[in-house]
Amino acid sequence: MVAPSVAWLVWLDRVNAVTAQMEPSVISSMIVEGSKMVLVGYLDDRFYRAKKLLLNGLEAVLVRANRTIPASDRVVSLSHNSPEQQQALEKLDELVAAVKETNDFPGEPEEREQIVAELSAGRRLLEAARVRVAAVRETLAPTLKWIGEKAGGAVIGKLAADVWQYLAHLHIF
């Protein structure tokens, strides 16, 4: 007879905490059914059925809340040289030029160099016909947020917001 692992028990405890906060529904019933399945003494198929009920229920909760499930390896095609790709590159080029040229940059010279490098790295990723969404997001999101927080009302702040909006339109953010 094999007992559930500690990791499974901790995860199940967290799932139960989530379902305790939910209104009764088909989704919560599915999650509860999976969490109450007796697993000790049964073959793997019972464990996988319980796991499937739990994961499908939790996924339904996310979909119902209009949230996407994180897909760190999701790849999108930008159709090389398409108008969308060209516009994204142009918007980044405009922002990089503005960061380089502005006299009222809200940081130290080293920060300006860092920001230009990060924006250029994001631009390089977007030059490819296919791009991993997480790579673009991790490269550009913190930089665009920093510019927005430090220079929201300035020209570079508005350009950063424009880049963010456009990338959101492309489902990258």
- pLDDT tens track for 94-106: 999 999 998 888 8
Measured distance CA(61)–CA(64) in Å, rounded: 5
Stretch 85-99: mean pLDDT: 92
The residue written with tokens 């380089």 in the block is: 100
Given a cut of 50, whether residue 111 has pLDDT beyond it is yes
Given a cut of 80, whether residue 144 has pLDDT beyond it is yes
Collapsing DSSP states into helix, strand and coil, what is residue 12? helix
Measured distance CA(106)–CA(84) in Å, rounded: 30
- Beta-bridge mates of residue 131: 76
pLDDT of residue 29: 83
Query: Taking Cα atoms as reference points, which of 20, 59, 51 lies closest to residue 35?
Result: 51
pLDDT of residue 1: 47
Burial category of 78 from C-beta neighbours within 10 Å (exposed 0-12, middle 13-18, buried 19 and up):
buried
Given a cut of 60, whether residue 71 has pLDDT beyond it is no
The pair of structure tokens assigned to 101 is: 């040229």
Stretch 57-70: mean pLDDT: 65
Stretch 53-69: mean pLDDT: 69
The pair of structure tokens assigned to 9 is: 């028990």
- Beta-bridge mates of residue 13: none
Q: Among 4-13, 24-33, 68-77, whose mean pLDDT is lowest? A: 68-77
Given a cut of 70, whether residue 42 has pLDDT beyond it is no
